[in-house]
């Protein structure tokens, strides 16, 4: 027998509530759903209210049987049918004599007569603690991703999902999804007024559910937003967030992670293969689809290992709707893009990289974010994450918004995001995009379009503080990782520690080297002697920062042509120039980065919608270039002289940079143990036989690199494997070598031992 405790009420008349309150709730404007829903003391009774538009009937199911005021059982039944007091789905029941902590569940009968028993979301007290909220408002909750977003949790005996979101200026925030008909009236959230955080635990919701936050602004507008902390999100036109369990994956990279903690990366070889996952390789036979994370683990990773790289750098993998942004317009900072698979499948890819000794760097974009309606822009109806003033808050060139680095919660969101990738995905490095745009208030702005800082300067003091804190916290919590700045100006101390006045990055992209050398390489060799300064200037500042020499994706798009097609001359000369350039790059101080396709001479510009032209490897000249890069990587890793003293003049010495007329330069690379490698570059198509070169020590100099070797597609001018020094003083040195310089080529010799020929 089912007992009904509430007589039929008139519409809008609900026990214990003024009509205005319930009208506000039903119209979706009420800001405190826990005042309306769940259990409430009304006189001597506990009144339970539920709003379920999809329900035909709802019953209260209790573990104990209710008693009247005299202590006797009211009924032998433990289920109590609720009264539907409003046609939209508002149910209520009064339980006489019950206490406020009445333990009950809801048996919901849907319109299709299916039944489901669940806990009442509005029977739970506040969940997020005051300390968590305080740390967040201070901007120092480094594991805030463990609290915000959507988390699978068990509260008492009920499994469900805990939701939390920051929207301080919203009038009302609701969780909407495929579990409540996307109706914002069904699951409005509790607000913590002091922090602006909203929370709700929804029993019965499970992994895979689609959801968003419906936000009612103070102006009465309804916004439908993806979760800023979502662990998984749809991409493209579908923009729902998805419930995902990040605690399931079991890592197998303990050895790598433990070894990484003690790594001194400035004194280690770093050769990076930069990759855009969506266009490295495509399945033409399957509609030109891109590969999945799992497929990339079986194809890309073995290729990188075979080629001898130490690291893979991925263009941004955080979720982004627009393919043409290449990932640099992020809408979901905590969700790896679902284009290629699930979060665990990406972690499988990273895990496999670590197991074979390959580090993984990801591009990270804290400089700006897009205006997509479902994203961070005007998140709660106000400029929450961005600056209100477009002179501070918008990149007009890019059509994107700039984070408000002066706001504690925004800095916390970003720094915690960096830590999230290092923590949950075991990422080894973060390359920070567009740092220059963050540092300067007048970046790409005309006079009158920017606001000076408090001291009248152009430096963005809030962004500087943010970058310093980001680096300090990352290195403190994850020793052995690296942060890399894409910074294109002469800002001092980018890779200097913050306690010495620097920004605290581990490395800086050497954009100056890249621009000077690409300009030089694009010249017809006959004119190169007039631009000799292009190839010597970089050594004036090479040791002021920890540099990465980069030939990145930015240099092979937007009409800039591929690396191969930047080279002058006929086809043979183009390949010879590029081979010479690559070896020169490996000899120059600094870590190395090469964008995919450059290693085998991709002819066309990079197109993010197409795979690389792998069929070119069927041609000997393209495969020869690939094998040269492979050889350079292995030689580089095996010769400490090429990386051991990368950040000091002790590791580099000019032999001769004055021979501009012949476009020849020569220099030494040295290790701490005294190993020597001699580099000579001949940037003209003329063979220079018996070219005399001064060297610091006598002995046999083994030829370890010759880009003109026939196996790479060259003319095979060389030195028969090496040269014995002569006691002929030259270039201010007591010893010298008489060598043959191949055309458009770089050659390198390693001092084997003094005084005798190599066996």
Question: Any idea which residues carry the catalytic annotation?
Answer: 433, 486
Contacts of 193 (CB under 8 A, 6+ apart): none
Phi, psi torsion values for 9, nearest 5 degrees: -100, 160
Backbone angles phi, psi at 49, to 5 degrees: -125, 140
- For 68, residues 6+ apart whose C-beta sits below 8 A from its C-beta are 74, 96, 97
Task: Give the ranges where 505-651 is alpha helix by DSSP (H).
Answer: 511-521, 563-566, 571-587, 620-638
Rounded Cα gap, residues 665 and 534, in angstroms: 12
- C-alpha closest to that of 362 among 406, 409, 403, 420: 420
Residue 74, sorted as left (phi over 0), alpha (psi -120 to 50) or beta, turns out to be alpha
Count of CA atoms in the C-beta half-sphere (13 A) of 37: 28
Structure token pair of residue 77: 């039944």
* Token pair recorded at residue 274: 């930069």
What residues have CB less than 8 Å from 95, skipping those under 6 apart?
A: 5, 45, 46, 47, 48, 60, 66, 80, 102
Crossing angle of helices 620-638 and 571-587, rounded to 10°: 10
How far apart, in Å, are the Cα atoms of 524 and each of 75, 564, 619?
98, 14, 25
Distance CA 102, CA 123 (A): 9
Strand order in the sheet with 190-192: 149-155, 158-166, 197-203, 190-192
Query: What count of Cα atoms within 13 Å lies in the side-chain half-sphere of residue 659?
Result: 19
Ramachandran angles phi, psi of 463, nearest 5°: -70, -40
Q: How far apart are CA 577 and CA 569, in angstroms?
A: 9
Q: Is 200 helix (H, G, I), strand (E, B) or coil?
A: strand
Q: Are 663 and 728 in contact (CB under 8 A)?
A: no
Which of helix, strand or coil describes residue 64?
A: coil
Which DSSP string do the residues of 293-307 spell out, in sequence order? HHHHHHHHHHHHHHH
**Distance from the first to the final alpha carbon of the chain:** 101
* Angle between helix 620-638 and helix 293-307 axes, rounded to 10 deg: 70
* Per-position DSSP letters for 56-75, written without gaps between them: EEEEEEESS--B-TTS-BS-
| Residue 439, φ and ψ in degrees, nearest 5 | -75, -30
Place of tokens 């205006």: 371
DSSP 201-265: EEET--TT-EEEEEEE-TTS-EEEE--TT-SSB--TT---EE---TT------HHHHHHHTT--G
């Amino acid at each position: 027998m089912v007992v009904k405790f509430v007589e039929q009420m008139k519409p809008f008349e609900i026990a214990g509530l003024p009509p205005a309150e319930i009208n506000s709730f039903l119209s979706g404007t009420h800001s405190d759903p826990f005042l309306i829903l769940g259990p409430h003391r009304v006189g001597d009774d506990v009144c339970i209210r539920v709003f379920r538009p999809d329900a035909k009937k709802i019953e209260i199911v209790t573990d104990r049987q209710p008693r009247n005021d005299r202590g006797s059982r009211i009924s032998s039944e433990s289920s109590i049918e609720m009264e539907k007091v409003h046609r939209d789905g508002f149910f209520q029941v009064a339980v006489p004599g019950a206490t406020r902590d009445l333990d009950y569940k809801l048996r919901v009968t849907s319109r299709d007569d299916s039944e489901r028993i669940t806990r009442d979301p509005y029977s739970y007290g506040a969940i997020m603690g005051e300390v968590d909220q305080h740390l967040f408002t201070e901007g120092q909750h480094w594991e805030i991703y463990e609290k915000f977003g959507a988390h699978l949790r068990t509260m008492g005996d009920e499994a469900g999902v805990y939701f939390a979101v920051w929207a301080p200026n919203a009038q009302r925030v609701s969780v909407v999804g495929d579990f409540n008909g996307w109706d914002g009236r069904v699951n409005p959230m509790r607000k913590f007024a002091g922090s602006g955080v909203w929370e709700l635990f929804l029993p019965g919701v499970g992994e895979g559910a689609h959801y968003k936050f419906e936000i009612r602004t103070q102006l009465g507008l309804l916004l439908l937003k993806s979760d800023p902390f979502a662990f998984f999100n749809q991409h493209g036109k579908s923009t729902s967030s998805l419930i995902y369990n990040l605690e399931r994956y079991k890592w197998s990279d303990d050895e790598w992670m433990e070894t990484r903690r003690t790594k001194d990366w400035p004194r280690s070889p770093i050769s990076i293969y930069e990759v855009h996952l969506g266009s490295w390789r495509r399945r033409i036979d399957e509609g030109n689809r891109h590969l999945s994370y799992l497929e990339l683990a079986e194809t890309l990773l073995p290729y990188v290992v075979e080629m001898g790289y130490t690291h893979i750098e991925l263009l941004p993998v955080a979720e982004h709707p627009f393919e043409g942004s290449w990932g640099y317009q992020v809408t979901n900072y905590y969700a790896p893009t679902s284009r290629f698979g699930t979060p665990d499948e990406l972690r499988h890819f990273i895990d496999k990289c670590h197991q074979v000794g390959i580090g993984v760097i990801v591009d990270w974009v804290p400089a700006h974010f897009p205006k997509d309606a479902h994203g961070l822009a005007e998140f709660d109806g106000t400029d929450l994450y961005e600056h209100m003033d477009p002179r501070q808050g918008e990149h007009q060139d890019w059509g994107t918004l700039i984070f408000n680095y002066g706001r504690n919660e925004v800095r916390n969101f970003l720094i915690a995001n960096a830590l999230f990738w290092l923590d949950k995905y075991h990422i080894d490095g973060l390359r920070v995009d567009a740092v220059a745009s963050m540092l300067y208030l007048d970046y790409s702005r005309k006079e009158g379009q920017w606001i000076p800082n408090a001291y009248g300067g152009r430096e963005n003091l809030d962004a500087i503080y943010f970058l310093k804190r980001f680096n300090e916290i990352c290195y403190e919590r994850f020793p052995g990782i690296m942060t890399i700045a894409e910074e294109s100006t002469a800002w001092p101390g980018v890779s200097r520690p913050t306690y010495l006045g620097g920004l605290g990055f581990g490395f800086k992209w050497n954009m100056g080297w890249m621009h000077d050398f690409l300009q030089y390489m694009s010249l017809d060799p006959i004119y190169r002697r007039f631009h000799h300064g292009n190839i010597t200037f970089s050594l004036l500042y090479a040791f002021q920062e920890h540099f990465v020499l980069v030939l990145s994706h930015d240099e092979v798009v937007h009409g800039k042509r591929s690396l191969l097609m930047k080279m002058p001359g006929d086809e043979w000369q183009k390949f010879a120039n590029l081979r010479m350039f690559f070896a020169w790059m490996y000899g120059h101080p600094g870590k190395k980065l090469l964008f995919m396709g450059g290693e085998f001479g991709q002819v066309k510009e990079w197109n993010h919608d197409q795979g690389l032209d792998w069929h070119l490897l069927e041609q000997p000249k393209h495969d020869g270039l690939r094998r040269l890069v492979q050889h350079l990587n292995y030689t580089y890793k095996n010769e400490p002289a090429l990386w051991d003293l990368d950040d000091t003049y002790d590791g580099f010495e000019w032999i001769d940079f004055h021979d501009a007329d012949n476009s020849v330069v020569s220099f030494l690379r040295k290790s701490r143990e005294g190993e020597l490698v001699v580099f000579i570059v001949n940037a003209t198509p003329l063979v220079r036989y018996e070219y005399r070169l001064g060297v610091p020590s006598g002995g046999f100099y083994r030829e370890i690199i010759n880009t003109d070797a026939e196996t790479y597609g060259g003319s095979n001018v060389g030195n028969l494997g090496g040269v014995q020094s002569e006691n002929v003083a030259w270039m201010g040195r007591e010893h010298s070598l008489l060598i043959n310089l191949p055309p458009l080529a770089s050659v390198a010799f390693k001092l084997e031992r003094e005084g005798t020929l190599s066996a």
